[in-house]
């Protein structure tokens, strides 16, 4: 049995890091909203007319070829790609100098009550064509078959600044999903196995905000250094006692983060752990450095989900993540406290941050389990192939498996009894 004993507090005990902070003051200062910085204009000016033409032959039959990650003209087979936003908008530089909140055009505040439907006038024949931006960014004119594209930023949050194109093909994604499901085959629901059809594996672009930030985080707490350890008899037990000096500990760390990636849709941001919501987080990270300038041709043949969270909504999520990064960075400086440090208060002061909205590519297979009314997902990171998901489990099979194990053990016990009789 072990029992901790607090030593009498030694008034002369050295304090490692100066007097305690007046945390209220510091927190108030940190809570003051950072000044807005200059915004980044990310509109792809070459696509202003809503018709994405092949630069070689002018055809509008353009789509992504996932095997190369490039756009391909279905008419003349010319392949090309948009420039990386990293260089185009200078996102890779100047994180140390960030000041205030810099927001790119596609990450701006979503106007309340704006419709998802955007009506475009076809440049080919003048017909009105409706695009439902909640799920798609293109529509084909049913009169002249021109593909019309949403290229301008819309007030409903549907057009991001950048897109990371699909890289894994549909066939490759199906292969990953099969592999994932077969590893869990023993317990998988028979209907799940039977009903798996590759056609139901769908490519979807999910909305994220990608953040660069400069911050200072501070942690205040108590650290203990053991000075003595002894045991005493207490009846039949031996009780171990410790004596430790308790120190007021404070650590501050200045840090920069490059491409912190946070969900931009509310239904997947909630980390409740009990549902399939957080599956998408387990297939992070994405190579966001390779994201390219917005061009809706990258979305032809894929669905997309609209962003519905603003920078203001996600600022606290960013602060949480910065605090967590800082905490792990100060960890290495706490070695002298052999009985550990308990943080009692922490704060983050964000000097500057830069927000860019981005569509990231995911292959999804969903399965609705009727008896439990649960929606299961298998998700594949369409850049790295990282796969995660939940597979519906057959209760009946679990019971059978338990019975089999039980019977097997009884069999062994029986054998031992026979041997020792
Ligand atoms: Zn062409
Ligand atoms: Zn038309």
pLDDT at 95 over 60: yes
- C-alpha–C-alpha distance, residues 16 and 265, integer Å: 44
Position with higher pLDDT, 79 vs 277: 79
* CA 354/CA 219 separation, integer angstroms: 24
Higher pLDDT, 387 or 411: 387
Span from the CA of 119 to the centroid of ligand 2 (angstroms): 13
Tell me phi and psi for residue 68, to 5 degrees.
Answer: -110, -15
Tell me, what's the pLDDT at 195? 75
Distance 125 CA to ligand 2 centre (A): 4
- 267/73: higher pLDDT: 73
Q: Is the pLDDT of residue 171 over 90?
A: yes
180-220 confidence digits (pLDDT tens): 888 776 556 677 777 778 888 999 999 999 999 999 999 99
Number of neighbouring beta carbons within 10 Å of residue 416: 9
Q: Which of 11-20, 92-101, 172-181, 280-289 has the lowest mean pLDDT?
A: 11-20
- Note the ligand closest to the C-alpha atom of 80: 1
Would you state the pLDDT for residue 47?
80
Contact present, 355 and 209 (Cβ < 8 Å): yes
Decide if pLDDT at 379 tops 50: yes
Closest ligand to Cα 122: 2
The DSSP H or E segment spanning 72 is strand 70-73
Mean pLDDT for 255-275 is: 74
Residue 121 CA to ligand 2 center (angstroms) comes to 8
**Ligand 1 centroid to 314 CA: how many Å?**
41
Ranked by mean pLDDT, which of 15-29, 111-125, 144-158, 245-259 comes out on top? Answer: 245-259
Q: Which residues have a beta carbon within 5 Å of ligand 2, which is an ion? A: 122, 124-125, 127, 141, 143-144, 146
- Strand ranges inside 276-323, DSSP E: 292-293, 303-304
CB atoms within 10 A of CB 35: 9
Say which range, 145-149, 324-328, 343-347, 412-416, has the weakest mean pLDDT: 412-416
| Cα(71) to centroid(ligand 2), Å | 22
What is the per-residue pLDDT for 187?
56
Q: Which of 258-262, 281-285, 370-374 has the lowest average pLDDT? A: 370-374
pLDDT higher than threshold 70 for residue 241: yes
Number of the ligand closest to the Cα of 127: 2
Average pLDDT value for residue range 147-174: 88
Q: Which ligand is nearest to the CA of 144?
A: 2
Higher pLDDT, 277 or 273: 277
> Quick one: pLDDT at residue 419?
31
- Residue 398's pLDDT is what? 52
How far away, in angstroms, is 128 Cα from ligand 2 center? 8
Whether the per-residue pLDDT at 128 is higher than 60: the answer is: yes
Rounded percentage of the chain residues whose pLDDT exceeds 70: 80
Ligand nearest to the CA of 125: 2
Please say if the pLDDT value at position 122 is more than 90.
Answer: no
Ligand closest to 57 (CA) is: 1
**CA of residue 60 to ligand 2 center, whole Å:** 11
- Asked if the peptide bond before residue 212 counts as cis, ω within 30 degrees of 0, the response is no
pLDDT computed for residue 138 by the predictor:
86
CA 123 to ligand 1 center in whole angstroms: 18
pLDDT digits (tens, 9 = 90+) for 285-339: 999 999 999 998 999 989 888 898 999 999 999 999 999 999 999 999 999 999 9
Ligand closest to CA 76 = 1
For residue 350, the model assigns a pLDDT of 96
359 CA distance to ligand 2 middle (Å): 28
pLDDT at 32: 52
pLDDT band at 417 (very low <50, low <70, confident <90, very high): very low
Tell me how far the alpha carbon of residue 60 lies from the centroid of ligand 1, in angstroms.
Answer: 8
> 306 CA to middle of ligand 2, Å?
26
Distance 141 CA to ligand 2 centre (A): 5
Contact indicator for 76, 83 with CB cutoff of 8 Å: no
Q: How far is the CA of 65 from the centre of ligand 1 (A)?
A: 14
- Output the CA 77–ligand 1 centroid distance in Å: 6
How would residue 143 be classed by pLDDT, with cut points 50, 70 and 90? Answer: confident
Tell me the CA–centroid distance for residue 77 and ligand 2, in Å.
Answer: 23
With a CB cutoff of 8 Å and minimum separation 6, the contacts of 173 are 201, 203, 363, 380, 382
Rounded distance from Cα 358 to ligand 2 centre (Å):
29
CA of 88 to the centre of ligand 1 (A): 24
Q: Which of 39-48, 96-105, 404-413 has the highest mean pLDDT?
A: 96-105
């Amino acid at each position: 049995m072990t029992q901790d004993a607090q030593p009498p507090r030694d008034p002369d005990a050295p304090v490692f890091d100066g007097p305690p902070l007046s945390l209220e003051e510091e927190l108030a200062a940190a809570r003051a909203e950072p000044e807005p910085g200059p915004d980044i204009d990310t509109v792809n000016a070459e696509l202003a007319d809503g018709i994405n033409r092949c630069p070689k032959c002018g055809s509008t039959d353009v789509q992504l070829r996932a095997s190369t990650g490039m756009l391909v003209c279905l008419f003349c087979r010319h392949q090309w790609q948009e420039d990386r936003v990293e260089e185009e908008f200078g996102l890779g530089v100047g994180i140390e100098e960030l000041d205030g909140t810099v927001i790119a055009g596609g990450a701006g505040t979503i106007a309340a009550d704006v419709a998802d439907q955007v009506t475009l006038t076809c440049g080919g024949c003048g017909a009105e064509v409706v695009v439902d931006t909640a799920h798609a960014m293109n529509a084909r004119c049913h009169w002249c078959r021109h593909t019309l594209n949403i290229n301008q930023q819309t007030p409903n949050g549907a057009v991001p600044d950048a897109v990371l194109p699909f890289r894994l093909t549909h066939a490759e994604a199906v292969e990953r999903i099969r592999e994932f499901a077969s590893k869990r085959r023993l317990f998988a629901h028979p209907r799940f196995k039977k009903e798996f059809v590759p056609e139901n594996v769908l490519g979807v672009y999910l909305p994220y905000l990608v953040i660069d930030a400069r911050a200072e985080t501070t942690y205040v707490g108590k650290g203990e250094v053991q000075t003595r350890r002894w045991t005493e008899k207490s009846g039949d037990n031996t009780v171990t006692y410790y004596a430790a000096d308790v120190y007021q500990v404070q650590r501050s760390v200045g840090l920069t983060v490059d491409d912190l990636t946070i969900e931009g849709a509310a239904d997947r941001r909630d980390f409740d752990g009990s549902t399939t919501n957080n599956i998408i987080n387990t297939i992070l990270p994405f190579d966001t450095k390779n994201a390219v300038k917005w061009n809706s041709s990258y979305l032809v043949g894929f669905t997309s989900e609209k962003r519905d969270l603003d920078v203001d909504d996600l600022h606290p999520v960013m602060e949480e993540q910065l605090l967590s990064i800082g905490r792990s960075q100060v960890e290495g400086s706490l070695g002298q406290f052999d009985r550990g440090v308990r943080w009692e208060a922490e704060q983050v002061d964000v000097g500057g941050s830069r927000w860019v909205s981005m569509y990231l590519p995911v292959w999804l297979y969903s399965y609705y389990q009727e008896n439990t009314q649960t929606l299961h997902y298998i998700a594949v990171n369409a850049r790295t192939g990282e796969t995660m998901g939940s597979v519906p489990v057959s209760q009946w099979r679990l019971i059978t498996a338990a019975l089999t194990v039980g019977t097997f053990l009884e069999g062994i016990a029986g054998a031992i009894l026979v041997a020792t009789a």
